Structure 1
C-alpha cells in the first residue's frame, strides 16, 4: 500500500527537504501544505521540486510571492513583507538569474494550487480549515484556508463547532 506523507512549511529549505525525502519509503505520495517559499535560500528549487513530484495546497507566503513577482514583472508595485523575518528578498534573489519563462511557470503553478485537498476523511489545508469546513467552497472564506489565523469575522455562527463529526 502506498503511503502518503503530508509535509508543511518548507519555506525555501531545499536541502533540508531533500534530506527528509531520502528518508521516505520509495514511491510515497507527498502532499505539501503550502508556504514553499520565504525564509530559506532556495525557494525556486523547492517550488520546482514540489511542482514536479507532489501535490500541494496554497500557502499565504506562496500567494504573496506570486503576486509580488507578477506585479514586478509588469512594472507595478505589490506590497510584500521583505523583512528579515519573512525573507522576501531572499526568495526574490533565488529568481534573479532565471529567465522570465521559469518565473511565469512558477507563478502559474502557484495560482493553480487549490486551497484544500480532501482525501476520504482527511482535509488538508495550509491554514485554519475546520471553522470553515462547511463553507470551504465559498469564495468569501477561501483565503482563511491559506493563512493560519481567523478572518476578521468574529460571529459565533461563522465557526464549525461540532468537531466530533470529523473523528
Structure 2
C-alpha cells in the first residue's frame, strides 16, 4: 500500500505537549500515517522531548512534519541571531542543540497533499501559496482548488469545519484538547491537553 492510499491523521498544534502527544499516539491506529500540521515547538514544557519523538516518527516513515509559523520563527532567529532569547524552544534546547536542529527544521515541507485533500499550517494566500500566518482572508475566500484543506494555527474549542476547510488546533497547550483528524473518514480523535491554569478563553473540554 503506498503512502497516499493509507489512512492519515492530521494532528493539530502540539506546542511541546509531550505527554498528551504520547497519549494521542497510543490511541491512533499504529499503521496509519501521521501528519503534524506545524507548531510542534514552543510554549509547552517538554519541547525537546516532543521534537525528538516527532522527528523519530518522521525518520521511521510513520509521519510527516509540516512547518508552522513557530518553526519558521525559530529558523529566522537562528539565521539572523536576532530575538533568540524570546524563543522557548531555544531556551529549552540550548544553543548547540538548537543549531543541530536548524537543518532539520529548514527541510520541513509546507504542504502535505493527499487524494482530494491537503494539510498545511494556516492556509493559502490569494496566489495559492502556503501562508504560515493567514487566517480570515483564507477562510473567507478559499475556492476549493486544493480540495479539502486541513489546517491548525488558530485554536478553537473543537474541531471546526468552514466549508472545505477543517481547523484542528484545539488549544492543547492552553488546556484544551490535542486533536487528530482523518480526512478519509471525517473521524476525530482527541485527548486531554496540558494541565494549565492559563486556559485560553473559549477552549472547552474534549
TM norm structure 1: 0.68
Q: Distance in 1 between matches of 2:90 and 2:70?
A: 12
Q: Which runs of 5+ in 1 are unaligned?
A: 83-87, 152-158
1:166 is aligned to 147
Shift of 1:3: 3.0
2:133 to 138, 147, 151: 147
Q: How is 1:93-132 mapped onto 2 (pairs within 5 angstroms)?
A: 93-96=91-94, 100=96, 102-129=97-124, 132=126
- Cα contact 1:4–1:30 (8 A) shared by 2: yes
Distance 1:165 1:37 in 2: 27
Aligned position for 2:90: 92
Of the candidates 17, 20, 27, which is equivalent to residue 21 of structure 2? 17
**Structure with the larger RCO, 1 or 2 (CA within 8 Å, 6+ apart):** 2
Q: CA deviation at 1:56?
A: 1.4
Report which of the two has the higher share of strand: 2
Superposition RMSD in Å: 3.0
* Residue number in structure 2 paired with 1:60: 69
Q: Mark the runs of 5 or more structure 2 residues left unpaired by the alignment.
A: 58-62, 149-206
Higher helix share: 1
Counterpart residue number, 1:156: none
Distance in structure 2 (CA, Å) of the matches to 1:160 and 1:18 = 34
Cα distance, 1:67 vs. partner? 2.3
C-alpha deviation, 1:105, in angstroms = 3.3
Return the alpha-carbon distance in structure 2 between the equivalents of residues 113 and 47 of structure 1: 13
Q: Give the CA deviation at 1:70.
A: 4.2
Taking structure 2 as the reference length, what is the TM-score of the superposition? Answer: 0.57
Structure 1: distance between partners of 2:110 and 2:135: 14
Is the partner of 1:114 in helix, strand or coil?
Answer: coil
Q: CA deviation at 1:123?
A: 1.2
Q: Distance in 1 between matches of 2:70 and 2:147?
A: 28
